[in-house]
Structure 1
Amino acid sequence: MTSDHAHGHGHGHGHGPDGHAHAHGVSADADRRWLGIALGLITAFMAVEVVVGVIAGSLALLSDAAHMLTDAAAIVLALIAMRLAARPAAGGFTYGLKRAEILSAQVNGLTLLLLGAWLAVEAVERLISPPEVRGGLMLVTALVGIVVNMAAAACIAKANRTSLNIEGAYQHILTDLFAFIGTAVAALVIVLTGFQRADAIATLVVVALMVKAAYGLLRDSGRIFLEAAPVGMDPEALGDRLVAQPEIVEVHDLHVWQITSGQAALSAHVLVEADGDCHSVRRHLERVLRDGYGITHTTLQVDHVGEDTEAGDLLRISASPLGSAEHCDDAHGPVYRPGPTDR
């Protein structure tokens, strides 16, 4: 009886489902430095914008300032999450705190949605009853805001955006940049035509962009929390490819998920021919998963077909087209076999 439990745990930077490593030329320290610079720019301008927004009576400016506050919070949260994720695994946290970054991305998505809802209500009220807005002051502030947000976005773009955590902070900054562009256009319309409702209309456009960014963050972070397969990876196609390898009779309990952004993991129970080499098969499968899918964190249980079966199963084994009984009483998911499958 031969049973091989292989644990190829890759705790370095992970790979994407296309089998290619993400670009990780940027170190964690560099990521934190770029995020820190962006945080300084955002915080300084936000204080100025609140004052100007109140003087100008512009909801678009005040909404931009409120959004910049969430930008700052998003960056602070991203920095904290990076610190937590860098801690080694210990105690009950066998993966460490890597998913702190995914939790940060989800919080960023939620704050975008909540802020968008509040701004939408305020904008509708201003459409119904538009207040007087000082377009000239609003225009100058918005133009400066565009420059500040472009600088902040450029800083975060230099960090590792394959991290959903950093991507969450980046989406905050990017939607804020769009908000300032919309505010500048609205201010120009007010200066040239006196159409005061342009302020509220610009706010509603920004709300739509915020909802779109929030949906993407919540969808991607939700997939990771729900242990879904990485985007672009088809578990059934993966199972078919594994079972097509030499000496393999069956693959079941196949699970593939993401620990955090860019770090996919896989586990499976593999049955090989009675005279097959479990160790050789396991090493071959690890190469297939690494080279074809970029999965380096694998746990493969490899057994000979017919092992650990009860005596009562022998009749079913001999009668089975494959000469094997179900190896697990309660297999999780499809069972993959060469040729036509029972899926």
Structure 2
Amino acid sequence: MSTPKDEHGHGHNDHSHGETGHGDHSHGVSADADRRWLSLALALIGGFMAVEVVIGLIARSLALISDAAHMLTDAASIVLALIAIRLAARPAQGRYTYGLKRAEILSAQANGLSLVILAGWLGYESVRRLIDPPEVHGWLVVATALTGVAINIAAAWAISKANRTSLNVQGAFQHILNDLYAFIATAIAGLVMVFTGFDRADGIATLIVVALMLKAGIGLLRDSGRVLLEAAPADLHPDTIGDQLAGVPGVVEVHDLHVWTITSGQPALSAHVLVDPGRDCHAVRGQLETLLRGHQISHTTLQVDHVGDDLLTIGQQATAPHCDDAHGPVHSAEDHSH
């Protein structure tokens, strides 16, 4: 793009990195508080998991063993979340110009993938047990499952106190929540086996949990994948925003509009804006940033030029009034007026 010119010249490029609240992007819960709540949940889950493995083997219950396996992934997801929180807190430096904030998105991907893989294994085992059900000690299953319900309620409560707008923390929370559903299903299956002798209830309960795990895992993979692929946040529509920017008085055209997410709760936007020659670029940029703050977008990079500036030159010959290789649609004031 062109070299900036003074305001009374023919054009001006404004590179604005507007950050609402002077760069404060807190989600209302500190990283230290997140770590404390996650550590409490980890202690609850880890302690009970060891006990459940032993009881599951004694009771010969796949539902209990699957719950224990799920709790292992719960513990792993919390450990990943704790590591990601620490990495994301590191300041931007060197080649990592955003810092390591996306470590939490990678953690969410790992949590989603582990849920899907575990669901596949448990689904296979539960079908085997439906075909050839072993004898299961129902009362032992019921007692253990009810204890597991209490433990998971406590762990879910602890994680709910952390910042769940973070995909990272949400991933750990989904693990715990699915484990809670698993214990409820296991307790019901245990009661069915005690009072009816229907041993296949153990496998059926496991299949119910498998369906819930797949739903949560696929959701995490989808949401974290959108961030990694630089898609616009689900609640922000670039075309709508582009039309609104083009509707600001003095704006002639908006192109090269990009909306993406740096990490959970931190949407970002960049755009090239052309304004009328007689307009104050700084004033127009201020109006644009005010509009964007209404969409909760605080990270903005706006290049503002006057129409007619030699934005791109080949030798001494000016090209078109905007970038020839503009990415995406062009939003113009003329189109907006219609």
TM-score band, normalised by the shorter chain?
A: over 0.9
| Pairing 1:94–2:97 present | yes
| Structure 2 counterparts to residues 1-343 of structure 1, below 5 A | 1-9=11-19, 11-13=23-25, 24-290=27-293, 292-308=294-310, 325-340=320-335
Supply the distance in 1 between the matched residues of 2:41 and 2:215 (Cα, whole angstroms): 23
Higher RCO, 1 or 2 (CA under 8 Å, sep at least 6)?
1
Supply the distance in 2 between the matched residues of 1:12 and 1:60 (Cα, whole angstroms): 46
Retained in 2: the 8 A contact 1:250–1:335? yes
- Aligned positions, number: 321
Supply the distance in 1 between the matched residues of 2:333 and 2:287 (Cα, whole angstroms): 17
Q: Which deviations, in whole Å up to 9, do the C-alpha atoms of 1:283-316 show, x marking residues without a partner?
A: 11111111x20111100000000111557669xx
Q: Which deviations, in whole Å up to 9, do the C-alpha atoms of 1:22-76 show, x marking residues without a partner?
A: xx33221111101000000000000000000000000000000000000000000
3-state secondary structure, aligned to 2:139: helix
Supply the distance in 1 between the matched residues of 2:89 and 2:186 (Cα, whole angstroms): 39
Q: How big is the alpha-carbon RMSD for the aligned residues of Structure 1 and Structure 2?
A: 1.3
TM-score (norm 2): 0.92
Supply the distance in 2 between the matched residues of 1:7 and 1:261 (Cα, whole angstroms): 19
Partner in structure 1 of residue 5 of structure 2: none
TM-score (norm 1): 0.91
Supply the distance in 1 between the matched residues of 2:79 and 2:24 (Cα, whole angstroms): 24
3-state secondary structure, aligned to 2:334: coil
3-state secondary structure, aligned to 1:256: strand
Structure 1 residue 276 displacement after superposition: 1.1
3-state secondary structure, aligned to 2:243: helix
Question: Could you list the runs of 5+ residues in structure 1 that have no partner in the other structure?
Answer: 15-23, 315-324
Retained in 2: the 8 A contact 1:306–1:327? no
Q: 162-171 or 4-13: which moved more? A: 4-13
Supply the distance in 2 between the matched residues of 1:180 and 1:280 (Cα, whole angstroms): 59
Identity of aligned residues (%): 67
Supply the distance in 1 between the matched residues of 2:154 and 2:18 (Cα, whole angstroms): 42
Q: Which deviations, in whole Å up to 9, do the C-alpha atoms of 1:133-191 show, x marking residues without a partner?
A: 00010110000000000000000001110000000000000000000000000000000
